[in-house]
Structure 1
Amino acid sequence: MTAILAHCPYAKVVCTSARPIRHPDEKPVVVRPFSFPAGFADLPVEKLRIKPAVEIFVHHRLVRKKQDPLEASDVRTVAEICARLDGIPGVVAAAAAQATLEEVLALVRAGEFPEGTGLGEAVSALFQPLTPAEIQALDALSVCEDGFDLNAAKAVAFSDRIDARLASAILNGLQAAGLIQTFLVDKQPRYRLLYPVRVVCARRLEEGGKAAAVRKRHRAFYLALAVEAEEHLGGPDKVWQTRIKSEIRNLEAALAMRWDEHALRMAAALRRYWYRAGRFYEASELMQRALQGVVESDRGETKAKAKALAGLGSLLSAQAKLDEAREACNDSLAISRDRFPKVAAEAHNALGAIAHSLGEIETARVHFQESRKLLLGVRAEDWLYVNASNNYAGTLNESEEHQEAEKLCISIAVSAKHIEYPHGRFVALTNQAVALMYQGEWRRAEGILDLAKKAQEEGKRPLAHWFLNEAIIQAELDEYTAAAKTFIQVLESVSEQPDPRFVGNLIGEVAAFFCRIGRFGDAAKLWGAAEAPQDKCPIPLNEKRRIDVYKARAKEALGERPYGDYVYVGKQMDESISVKEAVQIFRAVLNS
Structure 2
Amino acid sequence: MRGPQSPGPWAYVGPPLELDAFVGRSAQLAELASVLGGSRLVTVTGAGGVGKSRLAGRAAARWASGDAERGAGRGWVELATVRDPQLVEYAVLEALGLTDHTSRMPREMLLEHLTGRRVLLVLDGFEHLVETCAGLTAELVRRLPELRVLAVGRRPLGLAGERLFPLPPLDEDEAVELFTRRAAEQGLPVAGAPEVRELCRRLEGVPLALELAAGRLRALSPDQLLRRLDDRFRLLTGGGRDALPRHQTLRTAIGWSHELCTPAERLLWARLSVFARTFDLEAAEYVCSGDGLAARDVLDVLSELLAQSVVSREETPAGPRYRMLDTVRAYGADWLEAAGDADRLRRRHRDWYLGLATWCELDWFSPRQREVAARVEAELANLRAALELCLTEPEGVHLGQYLAGSLWFCWVGCGRLAEGRRWLERSVELESGYERSRLKALWVLGHVAILQGDTVTALRTLRECREQAERCADATAAAYAEHRAGCLALITDDMSGAETLLRSALDRYREIGELNSNVLMGQVELAMTRAFQGDLPDAVRLCEDVRGICEDHGERWARSYALYVLAYAAWREGAPARARKLLGDCLGNAHAFDDLLGCVLAIELLALVTAAQGDPAEAAVLQGAAGRLWPSVGLPLFGSAHYNAPHEVCEAAARRALGDTRYEECVREGSRLDRDAAVARALGHDGVRPLGALPAPRGARGREGAGKREPAASPAPEGGRTAG
Q: TM-score, normalised by structure 1?
A: 0.67
Note the C-alpha offset of 1:224.
2.4
Matches within 5 A, 1:69-468: 72-73=34-35, 77=44, 80-82=52-54, 93-94=205-206, 117-159=248-290, 162=293, 164-186=295-317, 188-233=319-364, 237-259=369-391, 260-293=397-430, 295=431, 297=432, 299=433, 302-337=435-470, 339-438=473-572, 441-443=573-575, 445-451=576-582, 453-454=584-585, 457=588, 460=592, 465-468=601-604
Counterpart CA distance in 1 for 2:379 and 2:528 is 35
Q: Give the direction of change, closer, same or farther, for the CA distance of 1:304–1:520 in structure 2 (3 Å limit).
A: same
Computed over aligned residues only, the root mean square deviation of the Cα atoms, in angstroms, reads 4.3
Contact preservation (8 Å) 1:467, 1:486: no
Counterpart CA distance in 2 for 1:253 and 1:116 is 28
Aligned length: 466
Note the C-alpha offset of 1:113.
8.0
Q: Give the direction of change, closer, same or farther, for the CA distance of 1:496–1:192 in structure 2 (3 Å limit).
A: farther
Say which SS state the counterpart of residue 290 (structure 2) adopts: coil
Counterpart CA distance in 1 for 2:569 and 2:406 is 36
Counterpart CA distance in 2 for 1:582 and 1:243 is 26
Tell me: higher relative CO, structure 1 or 2? Use CA pairs within 8 A at least 6 residues apart.
2
Say which is worse superposed, 235-244 or 80-89, in terms of deviation: 80-89
Counterpart CA distance in 2 for 1:497 and 1:125 is 56
Indicate yes or no: 2:675 matched with 1:579.
Answer: no
Note the C-alpha offset of 1:221.
2.0
Offset from partner CA, 1:139-179 (integer Å, 9 cap, x none): 11111111111122122222177555521121111111111
Say which SS state the counterpart of residue 315 (structure 2) adopts: strand
Say which is worse superposed, 167-176 or 411-420, in terms of deviation: 411-420
Q: Give the direction of change, closer, same or farther, for the CA distance of 1:395–1:521 in structure 2 (3 Å limit).
A: farther
Contact preservation (8 Å) 1:394, 1:405: yes
Contact preservation (8 Å) 1:310, 1:350: yes
Q: Give the direction of change, closer, same or farther, for the CA distance of 1:469–1:271 in structure 2 (3 Å limit).
A: closer
Note the C-alpha offset of 1:38.
7.2
Q: Where do 5+ consecutive residues of structure 1 fail to align?
A: 1-36, 43-50, 63-67, 98-111, 530-576, 588-592
Say which is worse superposed, 257-266 or 447-456, in terms of deviation: 447-456
Q: Give the direction of change, closer, same or farther, for the CA distance of 1:94–1:425 in structure 2 (3 Å limit).
A: closer
Counterpart CA distance in 1 for 2:264 and 2:208 is 32
Q: Where do 5+ consecutive residues of structure 2 fail to align?
A: 1-8, 37-41, 46-50, 56-123, 126-151, 153-168, 170-174, 180-202, 210-242, 392-396, 638-643, 682-724
Counterpart CA distance in 2 for 1:474 and 1:400 is 22
Contact preservation (8 Å) 1:280, 1:319: yes
Counterpart CA distance in 2 for 1:168 and 1:452 is 46
Counterpart CA distance in 1 for 2:422 and 2:486 is 23
- Aligned with residue 515 of structure 1, among 642, 655, 677: 655
Matching residue of 2:22: 55
Say which SS state the counterpart of residue 56 (structure 1) adopts: coil
Counterpart CA distance in 2 for 1:263 and 1:581 is 39
Counterpart CA distance in 2 for 1:211 and 1:430 is 50
Counterpart CA distance in 2 for 1:496 and 1:373 is 35
Note the C-alpha offset of 1:498.
6.3
Say which SS state the counterpart of residue 331 (structure 1) adopts: helix
Counterpart CA distance in 2 for 1:113 and 1:200 is 17
Amino acid at match of 1:469: L
Instruction: Return the index of the structure with the highest Cα Rg.
Output: 1
Say which SS state the counterpart of residue 389 (structure 2) adopts: coil
Offset from partner CA, 1:161-202 (integer Å, 9 cap, x none): 755552112111111111111123446322111222112212
Note the C-alpha offset of 1:524.
6.9
Say which SS state the counterpart of residue 277 (structure 2) adopts: coil
Matching residue of 1:553: none
Matches within 5 A, 1:491-570: 499-500=632-633, 504=637, 505=644, 508=648, 511-521=651-661
Amino acid at match of 2:400: A
Amino acid at match of 2:414: A
Contact preservation (8 Å) 1:426, 1:453: no
Offset from partner CA, 1:367-417 (integer Å, 9 cap, x none): 222222222223434433321111111111222222332333333323332
Offset from partner CA, 1:341-366 (integer Å, 9 cap, x none): 34333222222222233333322222
Say which SS state the counterpart of residue 450 (structure 2) adopts: helix
Amino acid at match of 1:580: R
Contact preservation (8 Å) 1:345, 1:371: yes
Amino acid at match of 1:347: A
Percent of aligned pairs with the same residue?
Answer: 21
Q: Give the direction of change, closer, same or farther, for the CA distance of 1:422–1:113 in structure 2 (3 Å limit).
A: farther
Contact preservation (8 Å) 2:275, 2:382: yes
Q: Give the direction of change, closer, same or farther, for the CA distance of 1:448–1:399 in structure 2 (3 Å limit).
A: same
Counterpart CA distance in 2 for 1:582 and 1:180 is 37
